[in-house]
Amino acid sequence: MSDLTKDELWVSMLFVVTFLPVLFFGPLGGLLADRLDRKKLLLGSYAALIAVSGIQVFLVAVDAISPAILLLTSFLIGLVMSVLSPVVQAVTANTVPPEDLASAISLQAMSSNASRVLGPAFCAPLVSSNLYEISWSLYSIGLALALIIAAGITLLPYELETERVAVKQSLLDGINHARERRDAWQALLLVGFISIFGVSHVALTPSFTENSLDKPSSYFAWLGAATGFGALIGALAAGSFTASSTLKRGSLFAIPYCLLLFGFSRVTNFEIAIVLQVLVGFFYIASFTTLQVVIQELVSEEFRGRVMSLFNIAWAGLVPIGTLLMGLLASSTGFDLGASNTIALTSLTCLCYVTLVVIRNFRPTELNT
CATH number at residue 50: 1.20.1250.20
Find all residues with CB under 8 Å of 220, minimum gap 6, and list them: 205, 206, 208, 209
Greater model confidence, 245 or 83: 83
Q: Return the DSSP state at 314.
A: I
pLDDT reported for residue 369: 44
- For residue 293, how many C-alpha atoms fall within 13 Å in the half-sphere facing its CB? 32
Range of the domain at 286: 2-368
How far apart, in Å, are the Cα atoms of 17 and each of 67, 71, 255, 267? Answer: 12, 6, 29, 30
* For residues 135-141, average pLDDT: 87
How far apart, in Å, are the Cα atoms of 168 and each of 30, 171, 277? Answer: 13, 5, 41
Handedness of CA 254, 256, 257, 258 (dihedral sign): positive
Return the minimum-mean-pLDDT range out of 82-86, 196-200, 262-266: 82-86
pLDDT reported for residue 114: 67
339 falls in which pLDDT band (50, 70, 90)?
very high
pLDDT reported for residue 149: 92
The runs of H, that is alpha helices, within the chain are 2-5, 8-35, 38-61, 67-94, 101-128, 132-151, 167-180, 182-197, 205-211, 220-238, 247-266, 270-298, 304-312, 319-330, 338-360
**Residue 366 scores a pLDDT above 60:** no
- How high is the mean pLDDT of the chain? 85
How far apart, in Å, are the Cα atoms of 64 and each of 55, 58, 61, 76, 257? Answer: 11, 8, 8, 17, 40
Contacts 24+ apart (CB under 8 A), 124-127: 124/218, 124/219, 124/221, 124/222, 124/225, 127/218, 127/221
How far apart, in Å, are the Cα atoms of 38 and each of 175, 296, 301? Answer: 20, 17, 13
DSSP letters for 35-52: HS-HHHHHHHHHHHHHHH
What does pTM read for this prediction? 0.72
Q: Identify the CA nearest to 209 among candidates 196, 221, 197.
A: 221
Q: Return the DSSP state at 244.
A: G
Q: How far apart are CA 139 and CA 39, in angstroms?
A: 21
pLDDT reported for residue 241: 58
Q: How far apart are CA 86 and CA 337, in angstroms?
A: 36
* Residue 126, phi then psi, degrees to nearest 5: -70, -45
**Residue 290 scores a pLDDT above 60:** yes
Contact (CB, 8 A) for 292 and 183: no
pLDDT reported for residue 357: 92
If one counts the domains in the chain, the total is 1
Coil, strand or helix: which one is 204? helix
Exposed/middle/buried for residue 276 (C-beta within 10 Å: 0-12, 13-18, 19+): buried
* For residues 317-321, average pLDDT: 80
**Residue 242 scores a pLDDT above 60:** no
pLDDT reported for residue 340: 95
* For residues 271-298, average pLDDT: 90
The runs of H, that is alpha helices, within 1-100 are 2-5, 8-35, 38-61, 67-94
pLDDT reported for residue 351: 96
Phi-psi region of 245 (alpha: psi -120 to 50; beta: other; left: phi over 0): beta
* For residues 205-217, average pLDDT: 91
Contact (CB, 8 A) for 8 and 202: no
Greater model confidence, 29 or 214: 214
* Number of CB atoms found within 10 A of residue 256's CB: 19
Q: How far apart are CA 197 and CA 162, in angstroms?
A: 38
* Number of CB atoms found within 10 A of residue 87's CB: 25
